Amino acid sequence: MVPATPTTPPPVPASAPPVEGVPVAGEPEIRARLKAPSHATYVAEALGAAGQSISVELANAGKNPVNVERMGVSFTATREGVPFPCKKRVGASMGRREPETLHPGQSFVFERDLDCAMSLPGHYDIAVYVAFGDRQDRTDLVGKFGLDLDDRGVAPRPYLPRPGLYVAMVGDRATRPLSPEAWARGDYHVVLAVVNGSTHAVRVGPARLAFTTYRKGSTLPCSGQAESLLLPDELAPGTMHVVQKAVACAPSEEGQYEIVGRLTFGESPEEIEVGRVSLKVSRDPILFIPEPWPPVGDRPSSWVK
């Protein structure tokens, strides 16, 4: 009897590697991965974070094409339990082309601005939601991350008599020489911001802002009368209110100046310093070449698991 010839078992077909990410609740064939920053620096001119973005990678792990056109992202941001406002829907940047369909096995990374008014430094807990294709009326959570917004001494200052209330004054750092009429008209002005960082409404009401302007090399500052400010009666948690104000003590000629703002609420005799603006008055055209914006911050660096 002839012994049977041993046969080699057929090779086991290799399985496709698993697609990374979490299933999108409303479209389970789509997997989502989030890439987000962990740190940013408070930017005085932006009254918060600036230049921050996140990335959402969508991958089709199913067997059918999926419509991903008009992919929009929305956020929620909370600091110490207080919600801060975010733009309702963030789409693609102008001029950026994105796919309308993801075929089986395809993926694409969608980049979106982190458009939240994080007007105080501190730690923020941020949740990210997406809506795309035929599901524009439904948003699905695709990830959460923490962002630490670091202060370098330019963030709003607490107004201690009213716990939870913060105030700040900011302004451009250069201007061309202006006539007295232009200064009075407000061609150069500062911005005053009041922020509620607490979990309850905070009383604000009318206030007065006074300026003292110092010129480098001079011992005689200019002190102007306090100007009235119309502010809301109160601010809801996480809300920021801004007003513009012309500088009453205007620099009279070219030079380096420092404008100091002092704020008084209501009839209170207590006056607090709300900010210092270093201002150069010059005809040098190089000073007025626009800087790149937004400032480069801590770009997304790691995928959120």
pLDDT digits (tens, 9 = 90+) for 87-143: 999 999 888 899 999 999 999 999 999 999 999 999 999 999 999 988 788 899 999
Per-residue pLDDT tens digits for 39-94: 999 999 899 998 899 999 999 999 999 999 999 999 999 999 999 999 999 999 88
Average pLDDT over residues 16-43: 87
* Cα(239)–Cα(114) distance, integer angstroms: 18
**Residue 62 one-letter amino acid:** G
Q: For tokens 């601005």, name the residue.
A: 113
Sign for the CA dihedral angle at 195, 208, 155, 160 comes to negative
What domains sit in the chain, N to C, each tagged with a CATH number? Answer: 22-153 (2.60.40.10), 157-288 (2.60.40.10)
Structure tokens given for 36:
């987000």
| Residue 161 pLDDT greater than 60, yes or no | yes
CA angle (110, 46, 122) in 5-degree steps: 80
The answer to whether 215 and 251 are in contact (CB under 8 A) is yes
> What is the longest distance spanned by two Cα atoms in the chain?
120
| Residue 184 pLDDT greater than 60, yes or no | yes
Residue 183 backbone dihedrals phi, psi, to 5 degrees: -60, -45
pLDDT given for residue 23 in this prediction: 93
Average pLDDT over residues 230-259: 91
Nearest to 51 by CA among 144, 141, 124, 149: 149
Q: What is the mean pLDDT of the chain?
A: 87
